[in-house]
Amino acid sequence: MHVTAPRRRVTLGRLFRWIFKALVAFVLLSVLWVALYRVVPPPVTFTMVANAIDGRGIDKDWMPLSRIDPDVARAAIGAEDARFCSHHGFDFGAIEQAMQHNEHARRIHGGSTISQQTAKNVFLWQGRSYLRKALEAWFTLLIETIWGKHRIMEMYLNVAETGIGTYGVDAGALRYFHHDASRMSPTEAARLVAVFPLPKVRGAVAPVGAVRRYGNRIAARIGTVQRGGYDRCVR
Q: What is the CATH number of domain 43-234?
A: 1.10.3810.10
Read off the pTM: 0.86
Are the CB atoms for 188 and 173 separated by under 8 Å?
A: yes
Instruction: Map residue 101 onto helix, strand or coil.
Output: helix
Given this model, what pLDDT does residue 204 score?
A: 66
Q: Distance (Å, rounded) from C-alpha 115 to C-alpha 112? A: 8
pLDDT above 90 for 69: yes
Task: Decide the pairing of beta strands 161-163 and 59-60.
Answer: unpaired
* Residues 6 or more apart whose Cβ sits within 8 Å of residue 23: none
pLDDT class of 210 with cuts at 50, 70, 90: confident
Per-residue buried b or exposed e for 158-189, using 16+ beta carbons within 10 Å of the residue's own CB: bbbbbbebbbbbbbbbbbbbeebbeebebbbb
Given this model, what pLDDT does residue 100 score?
A: 47
Q: Distance (Å, rounded) from C-alpha 217 to C-alpha 225? A: 13
Q: What percent of the chain has pLDDT over 70?
A: 85
In the chain, what are the domain boundaries?
1-37, 43-234
Question: How far separated are the first and last CA of the chain, in Å rounded?
Answer: 69
Cα–Cα separations (whole angstroms), residue 18 to 12, 13, 90, 120, 181: 10, 9, 32, 27, 48
- Of 120, 187, 209, 208, which Cα lies nearest the Cα of 159? 120
- Half-sphere exposure (Cβ direction) of 42: Cα atoms closer than 13 Å: 26
pLDDT digits (tens, 9 = 90+) for 87-127: 999 987 665 564 444 444 454 445 799 999 999 999 999 88
pLDDT digits (tens, 9 = 90+) for 126-182: 888 999 999 999 999 999 999 999 999 999 999 999 988 999 999 999 999 999 999
pLDDT class of 213 with cuts at 50, 70, 90: confident
- Half-sphere exposure (Cβ direction) of 141: Cα atoms closer than 13 Å: 8
pLDDT class of 13 with cuts at 50, 70, 90: confident
Q: Which amino acid does the sequence have at 59?
A: D
Are the CB atoms for 91 and 83 separated by under 8 Å?
A: yes
Helices (H), 81-148: 92-102, 114-123, 130-146
